[in-house]
Amino acid sequence: MARPGDKSVKAVNQKRVADLLFGSSSGSETSSVASDVTSTSSDPVKRTRRKRQSSWEPEAAMKRVKSAGAKNLTEQLRKHERFWLADGNAIIELDGILFRVHQSWLAQHSQRIAASFHDKGKSGDKFEQTKLDLRGKLKAIDFETLLLFYDNPGDYRYAIEPRTLMSLIRAATGLGFDSDRTWLVKELEALWPSSLEELIANPEPHLDSPEVAVLARMCNIDGLLKPVFYNMARMPGFGLSELEESEQIGRADMLRLIRIREYLSDMWVQAAAREDPAFVCQNLQGAPSSDGEGTPAPSDEKPALGFIASASVASSCLSVTARREAWARLVYDSGIFTQYRYDPLRGLTALINIKWTNAWCKDCKEKRKADWHIMQGSIWEKVDEYLRED
């Protein structure tokens, strides 16, 4: 039976033979190696100690690697130049930026955050420093905007820029600043009135409509959806080229926009493409009377100028041909039809405000304007239905 030290002695002998053949080691070096191997092999205590030492080395190495990794990660993060408060006790990491603010300020404005602080990290009457994980709920730029707002409220005394207002709403929503969010939303809704009269009064489209639509969905602000979606539907490409890649409209909302635009276009064509074929002027000579009798309707021949003048005095509409020519001139040649292709609400207002010629009698002009007002209300209500569709 081989003894425990035999293999070690054999290894030393092989080493000596190799040294003699190739001359790679000195005798003293060989002797030292042999002595070390022999003493370790023959001493069970040393052998066990050496084994334990070798098993500890990988664990220690892993700790050093982890420590170095954590150090590198810390070096990648940077403290905010202004809002790393020396006496702050709440650290928030957002987009690689570290903020340190006061827990008391956060708790004062957010019941949700105050609840998370409850009995957490208390030391007497003070809160120990803690770290809040708000990643995915808040962006650094929005949190910075909110901090700037509270730091210098006087700068926002008279007006808040729309983009700043949207940033504040995102921050207030993400942090649970419910009271602040309420009045901020009202400020934004004032810029996007949902009443038909106020909508028509503003002829120019809002270029930030897509961004507001994304905000309305993200922060559940339903009151903004109707005016924003109508505004997007009348813009080229729905205005989506203004959106960043991370702020895209969902598929369901895209389908709603397409359906709304198709509906708006159809209603505009119905109203402005031509005069309603069913239109009959009750004052026109030859129109059916209330008892069903009447003189024959006039021909479509173009009337003389003298007849046009008399039509104004007699308050009766001219022939179909005369009215058709006047319609083409007032609606098509003026550019109204093309301009309001996807915006029937403002388009109908433009039709109402046209100085209609004497091709129509006074009574028919007033009736047509009243019908167009009713049509505006019907269109505006229909947009609600498209928004409610799944």
240-249 mean pLDDT: 76
Provide the token pair at 318.
């001219």
Q: How far is Cα 194 from Cα 200, in angstroms, rounded to an integer? A: 10
265-285 mean pLDDT: 86
Specify the pTM: 0.70
Confidence band of 281 (pLDDT split at 50, 70, 90): confident
Q: How far is Cα 387 from Cα 390, in angstroms, rounded to an integer? A: 8
* Digit-coded pLDDT (tens) for 119-151: 565 544 555 788 888 888 899 999 999 999 999
Residue 347 sits at the vertex; the CA angle it makes with 341 and 348, to the nearest 5 degrees, is: 130
Q: pLDDT value at position 43?
A: 55
Q: How far is Cα 360 from Cα 315, in angstroms, rounded to an integer? A: 8
* Digit-coded pLDDT (tens) for 17-40: 344 334 444 444 444 434 443 444
Confidence band of 304 (pLDDT split at 50, 70, 90): very low
**pLDDT tops 60 at residue 164:** yes
Q: Decide which of 372 and 302 is more confident.
A: 372
Q: Exposed (0-12), middle (13-18) or buried (19+): which is 242, by Cβ within 10 Å?
A: middle
Worst-scoring range by mean pLDDT, 187-191, 199-203, 208-212, 359-363?
A: 199-203
Alpha helices (H) along 152-208? 162-175, 178-191, 196-201
Q: pLDDT value at position 302?
A: 42
Q: pLDDT value at position 224?
A: 95
Q: pLDDT value at position 24?
A: 45
Q: pLDDT value at position 136?
A: 83
Close Cβ partners of 67 (under 8 Å, ≥ 6 residues apart)? none
Confidence band of 47 (pLDDT split at 50, 70, 90): low
Q: Decide which of 213 and 36 is more confident.
A: 213
Neighbouring-strand partners of residue 90? 101, 130
Provide the token pair at 166.
């949207």
Q: pLDDT value at position 14?
A: 52
Provide the Cα torsion 339, 342, 345, 348; round to 10°: 50
**pLDDT tops 70 at residue 363:** yes
Nearest CA-CA partner of 275 in 321, 339, 334, 341: 321
Q: Exposed (0-12), middle (13-18) or buried (19+): which is 162, by Cβ within 10 Å?
A: middle
Q: pLDDT value at position 23?
A: 45
Question: Residue 244, SS3?
Answer: coil
To the nearest whole number, what is the mean pLDDT of the chain?
78
C-alpha atoms less than 13 angstroms from C-alpha of 291 in its C-beta half-sphere: 3
Q: pLDDT value at position 93?
A: 94
Asked if 297 and 361 touch (Cβ cutoff 8 Å), the reply is no
